[in-house]
Amino acid sequence: MNRRLLIVSASQLAATLLPATAAAGIRSTASSNGEQFPIDYGDVLKLKPRFRRTEVKYATAEVPGSIVVDPGAKYLYFILNGWTAIRYGIGVGREGFEWNGEATVRRKAKWPRWTPPKEMVARDPLAAKWADSMPGGPDNPLGARALYLYQGSVDTLYRIHGTNQPDSIGKAVSSGCVRLINADIADLYERVKIGAKVVVLPAPPPETPSAESVQEKPQNQEKLQKKRRYLFDFL
């Protein structure tokens, strides 16, 4: 057997997973596709295969164009016709910051500014630095796109947004918002219409910790606190 047939380069694999704007190369730049800042489409290759964007069968009563978020499975579904959906891997709220219910997309933004809520400013000095808002860009924790979720006329302060931390997908790390890699939120942004319904399912109850894990918890928490000093952990 020809060994060449067994070799799939990163660019070839990405081309099967990414939108046409990125088919010519792994890294899509601002100049090549009209983006204000680069979107790294190679991030998809850093995801575990089960969290890569794909079309799946999905039975739901929600109408096409709706979004269903499953925090337990770490998936977001964009509902299509015919009992199918586009499934995206996501990062969700860590314990104590989860939320569930229904909302509506009332606003969308490309490379959005970020203004931390007052509660976040009060509890974290890194967020306090940007109390008057942080300009959009690669270092902004909202990433390349944001969908703003409302209940009636009230802003829930929760967002579906991008991140340049692909290793956070599939984990519960945020302060309640739903994050996708920038390549995926850019794709979702183009599909979602203003007024779209968003359903966030309840997260499963936390597992009862074993005696061994309880003993290890203080040490692990100390390590986590030393590691967690990134704005991207806030959202």
Catalytic residues: 161, 177
What's the CA angle centered on 183, arms 102 and 171, to 5 degrees? 60
The C-alpha atoms of residue 233 and residue 228 are separated, in whole angstroms, by: 7
Task: Compute how many other C-beta atoms are within 10 angstroms of the C-beta atom of residue 24.
Answer: 11
Q: Which of 158, 161, 160 is closest to 140 using CA atoms?
A: 161
**39: its two tokens:** 């979107």
Q: Which of 19, 110, 107, 105 is closest to 66 using CA atoms?
A: 105
Residues with Cβ within 8 Å of residue 196, at least 6 apart in sequence = 65, 66, 67, 104, 105
